[in-house]
Amino acid sequence: MLKLNVMQVYLLILWVISFVGGWFSPIPQLDLVRIQTPKNGDFIQGSVQIVGTVTGTGFQKAEISFRYQESQLQSWFLINQIDSPIVDDLLANWDTSTIADGTYQIKVLAFYENGRQQETIIENLSVRNYTPFDPIKTDSSDETKILPTSGESIEIVPTPTKKPFPTPIPPNEMIVTQSQFIMTVIQGAILGVLFLFVIALFIIIRRRKLG
């Protein structure tokens, strides 16, 4: 009977270790590839910071590339390559002064274990280093004004202004929330109670054996 109780305690300890180890093992990260700046349709010039996220379980590397959007060729030109995950930070600096003005695309392609790949593409990027910006993006506060003159009116249209660049970076999604912190504390408390229970059970059985 005593040997049976000792075996039960041993199996219980193994079960607790397996249960707790599985519970507190790192949660697999979802594959996430995104570009935060620049955004679709932005006007850009000079050195452009490409900011975004490349992460996930089994991440190996990521390539940041560009190509001329109107080209019939499918060739992409490498800007930078990274070998470790990045979250909401600089992926590459793109020197647009070395290419002709026009409309371009940029792509981030991530490679993972087991041959998995994931990509994201930003389109309609207007590079304007040597030609004026197109008057497309304007402030909503601009209004057409009519000024009276001698017997006739003159319509004055305000000069369009382009949106500021780069756009703000959104909040970091990887920040631990209060609910996640509370859940971790609760899990730790449960682990402690289970551990004390096993120790108490072991002491009781040992005392019976000695008695």
Of 83, 109, 137, the domain-final residue: 137
Residues 100 and 116 occupy one common structural domain? yes
Of 107, 137, 167, the domain-final residue: 137
Residue 165 belongs to some domain of the structure: no
Distance CA 36, CA 169 (A): 7
Residue 96 belongs to some domain of the structure: yes
Residues 38 and 133 occupy one common structural domain? yes
In a structure prediction context, what are the per-residue pLDDT tens digits for the chain, which is 211 residues long? 545 565 666 666 766 666 555 555 445 557 899 999 999 999 999 999 999 999 999 999 999 999 999 888 879 999 999 999 999 999 999 999 999 999 999 999 999 999 999 999 999 999 999 987 655 544 444 443 433 434 444 444 444 445 444 544 555 555 555 666 677 768 777 877 788 888 888 888 877 777 6
pLDDT at residue 89, as a whole number: 96
Residues 77 and 8 occupy one common structural domain? no
Residues 13 and 71 occupy one common structural domain? no
Residue 158 belongs to some domain of the structure: no
Residue 161 belongs to some domain of the structure: no
Residues 98 and 20 occupy one common structural domain? no
Residue 160 belongs to some domain of the structure: no
pLDDT at residue 98, as a whole number: 94
Residue 54 belongs to some domain of the structure: yes
Of 137, 157, 185, the domain-final residue: 137
pLDDT at residue 168, as a whole number: 47
pLDDT at residue 154, as a whole number: 43
- Write out the chain in H/E/C secondary structure: CHHHHHHHHHHHHHHHHHHHHHHCCCCCCCCEEEEEECCCCCEECCEEEEEEEEECCCEEEEEEEEEECCCCCCCCEEEEEECCCEEEEEEEEEEHHHCCCEEEEEEEEEEEHHHCEEEEEEEEEEECCCCCCCCCCCCCCCCCEEEECCCCEEEECCCCCCCCCCCCCCCCCCCCCHHHHHHHHHHHHHHHHHHHHHHHHHHHHHHHHHC
Residues 10 and 79 occupy one common structural domain? no
Neighbours of 126 (CB within 10 A): 20
Residues 68 and 119 occupy one common structural domain? yes
Could you give the angle at the alpha carbon of 156 between the alpha carbons of 154 and 162, nearest 5°?
Answer: 170
- Give the chain's domain count: 2
Residue 85 belongs to some domain of the structure: yes
Residue 67 belongs to some domain of the structure: yes
Distance CA 146, CA 134 (A): 24
Distance CA 136, CA 154 (A): 23
Residues 80 and 113 occupy one common structural domain? yes
195 neighbors 187 (Cβ within 8 angstroms): no
Residues 59 and 111 occupy one common structural domain? yes
pLDDT at residue 202, as a whole number: 81
Q: What is the pTM of this model?
A: 0.54
State which residues form the domain around 104.
Answer: 32-137
Residues 7 and 99 occupy one common structural domain? no
Residues 186 and 102 occupy one common structural domain? no
Q: What are phi and psi of 114, to 5 degrees?
A: 65, 20
CATH number at residue 87: 2.60.40.10
Residues 100 and 117 occupy one common structural domain? yes
